[in-house]
Amino acid sequence: MQAKMASNFLITYTVDWHQTPGAYWVHIPIVGGDEYTPPAPKPIPGKGYAILQVPFGAHVLEFCSAAQLQHYIDVLSQKLLPTTTQLSAQRGSGAGPNGHWLSRLPAELKPYSKRVLLVKKLKAALEYAAAHAPGTAFKSVT
């Protein structure tokens, strides 16, 4: 279901916030409960979970929270990208590195010159989502 569109960002809704590529790697479950750190997004009553779609060239990146978007910005702004082995180890689950979101990111988006432009777009998307996405998932980075 589509909701809001402005500039070239789109907010859609889904029944499962886990579908976004970075969700597993950013929102870590707290042992013994249904809580996550940083907190998982909450559904919008009658709609589901807000998903921010960010088009970049021929690709569309999807995010379920400000924390996920900020994580992409933090990783992609580095001149030398960390390895997916290093990033997977931070999750502490033994999963990856081939399944890590950075491993799945299209190769054409990985050169530093492209990432500079992508990070600029992601920062604009973060500001847009904070102002326009319903609920609290995009309101602050914890």
Burial of residue 7, with CB atoms counted within 10 A of its CB: 0-12 exposed, 13-18 middle, 19 or more buried:
exposed
pLDDT tens digit sequence for 119-129: 999 999 999 99
Instruction: List the chain domain ranges.
Output: 2-132
pLDDT in tens, 44-58: 999 999 999 999 999
pTM of this prediction? 0.89
